Chains A and B, each alone.
Chain A
């Protein structure tokens, strides 16, 4: 019969606890795209609707971009795509569409607007993209005749790094004997670095001017 020493048992238990508590590594950047089943034009019938069930001041749709995402075969090479159907009622609507910051990666978006037949009617330049909150995005008001927003990947940026500095505060509470609690707020200043990637998340937000309160 195998003997287990108490300290070894404690070590094993500790390792087990650590393993169960360990934070999984964030999804890594994907900087190569080698799919063979890409199509020449987006599937308009499969577009993701940006019209909410009921009127909302802000309607946000987040779409993962992964190995199962459909792809386009274009002049610049194959790339994944996400197609959104713009709201049917564009009155007082504005949209922000782009790549959502993840822990280690971000999709560099290339957004074009299509008409009902799928023809490109408006494109945005690289200089039109800004970080609006955590979304590297363009902002636009849909014009008459624009029906879809096609989001592909700006392949020129894939593999490049986006370095940033984020500041915030963090509050920790310490419980003391006798039932009280003491809280302490400290500052957080962190340097962050992400890689532009073929995979990640695309986010589209529709702002309804009728329902929004300006601040």
Chain B
């Protein structure tokens, strides 16, 4: 359902031809040396969504059948990934922290309550001693996405990220949206093309190779993490 919302939003936004307005970071004037990385960066489960499915073309009844097929696929993919021991959230946070440390920042991963169901930015931040800014990184959805029936499933990640001042959390120092393999490029959104190595013909192909399935998501999250670090260079 979350992926459906992301896809519908992406299609609507591109149809409206409006632009996403991010905010670039200016390290020279920001005065940030220490960053608190907000916890709960990824959803608990991955998605495995087919956009223009056969069922979606058959009205309400088709949509109901389609919802069942999408849910069944998603469950199966999550079960397959569970068997590999893949843990997305900690890997993403470690990758971001490692890259930022390489760039001269001191990074502390915070402990905070889970985000709301829409996975929006936090409204209030956990008090953390000694940090100059909070890096609020929220993957709204991730997993595998197919454009439609008969098209391959490829890794996808939809991320919002912002850096806010620790003393004044209303002060946004950087804000961006990063989409790895999204539906149509949207003006202003950082658009990452998927690695063709991780394409799966269908559900059966995904379930047949859980290790490569996890590898595709990890590669996508790494690309997003490296982009976030680069934006704070």
Contact = CB atoms under 8 A, between A and B. Distances in A.
Interface of A: 57-58, 94, 96, 127-128, 130-135, 139-141, 143, 163-169, 183-189, 191, 205, 207, 209, 212, 214-215
Contacts, number: 118
Interface string B161-198: 00000000000000100000111111111111110100
B19 interface: yes
B152 A189 contact: yes
A135 B18 CA distance: 15
24 contacts: A58-B19, A94-B21, A127-B230, A130-B191, A130-B227, A131-B191, A134-B187, A135-B187, A141-B26, A165-B196, A167-B154, A167-B181, A167-B182, A169-B183, A186-B149, A187-B51, A187-B148, A191-B196, A207-B19, A209-B21, A209-B23, A215-B13, A215-B18, A215-B21
Given A132-B188, A185-B56, 17 more contacts: A94-B22, A128-B233, A132-B187, A132-B189, A132-B190, A132-B191, A141-B23, A141-B26, A143-B26, A163-B193, A165-B154, A167-B51, A168-B183, A168-B184, A185-B57, A207-B21, A215-B18
Contacts of B63: none
Interface residues of B, number: 44
A212 to B, nearest CB: 4
A145 B210 CA distance: 55
Given A130-B190, A132-B190, A187-B51, A169 B148 contact: yes
Secondary structure type dominating chain A contacts:
strand
Contacts of A133: 19, 185-189, 191
B54 to A, nearest CB: 9
Contacts of B175: 214
Contact of A187 (B52, B181, B184, B233): B52
B150 interface: yes
Contact of B183 (A132, A167, A207, A214): A167
